[in-house]
Structure 1
Amino acid sequence: MSTTQSERLRELLEPLVTSQGLDLEEIAVDSVGRKRVLRVVVDSDTGADLDRIADVSRVLSAKLDETDAMGEGEYTLEVGTPGAERLLTEHRHYVRATGRLVKFQLAQGGELVARILTVDDEGVDVEVPGVRGRRPTARRLAFGDVARARVQVEFNRKDDESGQKEEEA
């Protein structure tokens, strides 16, 4: 997809996504055989459930149908959320990942897996899990120290510090 088409699509679709209370995270046009697929990724501080995704999909589809932004020929519109292992690229992504386990690629080399505790304009406060019975340690990471950060999926995370689930309490 040309930069011009990407910019045009973003200019066209972002106000519509915003009007639905969501943020436009990503736009991609891929060729699948002779068809094209327009993938639009949206999110918000409170997440995006299926009803919100369906609503924004209808709004975007109507706008794309009345314009020539996708040019001639068939295409499929897919609207979704970033997914469980999202890449953190914007300040708002870090805020939304508060409490989550994140793998940080450090600018000086190396990596760190830690839980985001707080986020401010300069960086993040994280908790590095203890290894072999050691206590977790707190650490501060400035945004400039982070080359890349990605949320990690946790299958066995406890809901609270005591290890009890809410319905068991």
Structure 2
Amino acid sequence: MTQRGRVAGRPRTDQRAPGRPRDDTPARRHRLRTVIEPVVVAAGYDLEDLSVSRAGRRHVVRVVVDRDGGVDLDAVADVSRALSKALDQAEETGGDLVAGEYQLEVSSPGVDRPLTLPRHWRRNVGRLVKVTVTPAAPDAAEAERRPRKLTGRVVEADEQRVVLRTDDGLTEWTYPELGPGRVQVEFSRLDEIAEDDLAGGDDDLEDGDDEDVEGEER
């Protein structure tokens, strides 16, 4: 699910030559993160992703948040409002955070998000995943230590390892042995998958949702 925030920005006052790209540098993204991450954490969420992209004449600031138990639409809306306020305050005291107009979009992760951290695996206990594993047993034969693809259901996950149920039974893997996991959509279990996990971005918003976006030139 995605919550669109307010369009914000000031008219361009710089004198860049025509065709020169706007200043979307890592430094700007770092400045955004220093404003956004504390707000997300204070609200009880993890900042899973932060990106800035172009959409026509404006930028889109996309923020992905998550927590144990998932994120519902009301929670996403609350975070979006808190971030809008924090970004406004930061711009009032420190100048533009994004070069030109921008639109804030806050969303929860979709099922296509790779599982790379212990919390990702923990939050997907019960799901079917596909992952490349590289056994790390030093005394195993070379052939047994080669990377191989594995599909299994996440039975358990903590800070040290993941337990998967495969056709061969239960297998246990430490995180260094696991590549990025990918959740497999099971059509027979779609009714068990939360709506926010199926959202892929803007496609889940109808044109009528634009009423959530307030236009403001500052």
> What range describes the TM-score normalised by the shorter chain of this pair?
0.7 to 0.9
Q: Which runs of 5+ in 1 are unaligned?
A: 131-135, 160-169
TM-score by length of 2: 0.65
Indicate yes or no: 2:30 matched with 1:18: no
Could you say which structure has the larger radius of gyration?
2
Q: 1:85 aligns with which of 112, 121, 134?
A: 112
Counterparts of 1:98 and 1:69 in 2: how far apart (Å)? Answer: 41
Aligned-residue CA RMSD (Å)? 1.9
Within-5 A mapping of 1:25-40: 25-40=48-63
Q: Which runs of 5+ in 2 are unaligned?
A: 1-23, 135-145, 192-218
Within-5 A mapping of 1:64-83: 64-66=87-89, 67=91, 68=95, 70-83=97-110
Q: 1:143 aligns with which of 175, 178, 181?
A: 175
Residues 49-105 of structure 1, C-alpha deviations (whole Å, 9 max, x = no match): 111101110110111122235234211111001112321121111111111111102
1:15 is displaced (CA, Å) by 1.2
Task: Mark the CA change 1:106 to 1:62 in structure 2 (over 3 Å): closer, same or farther.
Answer: same
Partner of residue 125, structure 2: 98
2:87 match: secondary structure: helix
Counterparts of 1:27 and 1:21 in 2: how far apart (Å)? Answer: 17
TM-score by length of 1: 0.82
Comparing both structures, which one devotes a greater share of its residues to helix? 2
The percent of aligned pairs where both chains have the same amino acid is 42
Equivalences, count: 153
Comparing both structures, which one devotes a greater share of its residues to strand? 1
Letter in 2 for 1:18: V
Task: Mark the CA change 1:45 to 1:15 in structure 2 (over 3 Å): closer, same or farther.
Answer: same
Letter in 2 for 1:156: S
